[in-house]
Structure formats: structure tokens, C-alpha cells
Amino acid sequence: MAKATTAASDTSKYTSEMFQAIIDKCEGCDRIVEADTTRFCRTYTAPAAKWRLGFCNFATHAKPEILAVAARVNPLKASKRAANKAKKK
Ligand code: SF4
């Protein structure tokens, strides 16, 4: 019985106009809930604002690509480091 009350209050939370509908980029996210035929985000009230500066950090369906940049190695310093390691052993 308590569970039904919780579910009813959850949907009323989304339809109270505090929450805005999801945007296209949210499609496929696991945090989407549907209330009164409109789909809302369970986590954020304004999903469009989360995507304004790039990826939504709570999106479950999309992650930003992280580019691995090869570190530059100075050959002189590398040889000194290797020599120091050899001395310690
Ligand atoms: S967590 Fe982000 S991507 Fe998922 S529905 Fe909410 S705003 Fe959209």
C-alpha cells in the first residue's frame, strides 16, 4: 500500500511543472520516466540545460570520447632515469 502511494506522488512530482520534458539527446537514457504521456528525466529538472555544454554527465547511454594523447618523452631525461634506476638496484 505504501508503494502505491509513493508511485502516485512520484508522477505528480514530474507533472507539477517543475520538471521539463526530455530532449532528443536523452533518447535511450535509463533515467527517463514517463508521466501523463510526457517523458521526464528522473535526475534533472531541465535536461536541455544538461546538454548545453556537451554531454550530460549522468547520461547512461552516451559518454564523451576521451582522446589518449601520447606523452612526449625527452630522450636525455629518459636515459638518466634509466641509469638512476640501474644504480639503485
Ligand atoms: S540523465 Fe541526462 S541524458 Fe539522462 S534523461 Fe536526464 S538529462 Fe537526459
Q: Is the CB of 14 under 6 A from ligand 1?
A: no
Q: Which numbered atom of ligand 1 lies nearest the CA of 50?
A: 7
Cα distance between residue 14 and residue 47, in whole Å: 13
Which band of pLDDT confidence, cut at 50, 70 and 90, is reported for residue 2?
very low
Which band of pLDDT confidence, cut at 50, 70 and 90, is reported for residue 83?
very high
| Per-residue confidence (pLDDT) for residue 50, from 0 to 100 | 93
Which band of pLDDT confidence, cut at 50, 70 and 90, is reported for residue 12?
confident
Cα distance between residue 49 and residue 58, in whole Å: 13
Q: Is the CB of 40 under 6 A from ligand 1?
A: no
Residue 13 has pLDDT above 90, yes or no: no
* Alpha carbon of 57 to ligand 1 centroid (Å): 8
Cα distance between residue 60 and residue 26, in whole Å: 9
C-alpha angle 75-80-86 in degrees, rounded to nearest 5? 125
Q: Which numbered atom of ligand 1 lies nearest the CA of 62?
A: 3
Residue 5 has pLDDT above 70, yes or no: no
* Alpha carbon of 58 to ligand 1 centroid (Å): 6
| Per-residue confidence (pLDDT) for residue 70, from 0 to 100 | 85
The C-alpha cell at 81 is: 632515469
- Percent with pLDDT over 90 in the chain: 55
> Are 18 and 45 a contacting pair, CB within 8 Å?
yes
Q: Is the CB of 32 under 6 A from ligand 1?
A: yes
> Are 39 and 22 a contacting pair, CB within 8 Å?
yes
The mean pLDDT value of the chain amounts to 85
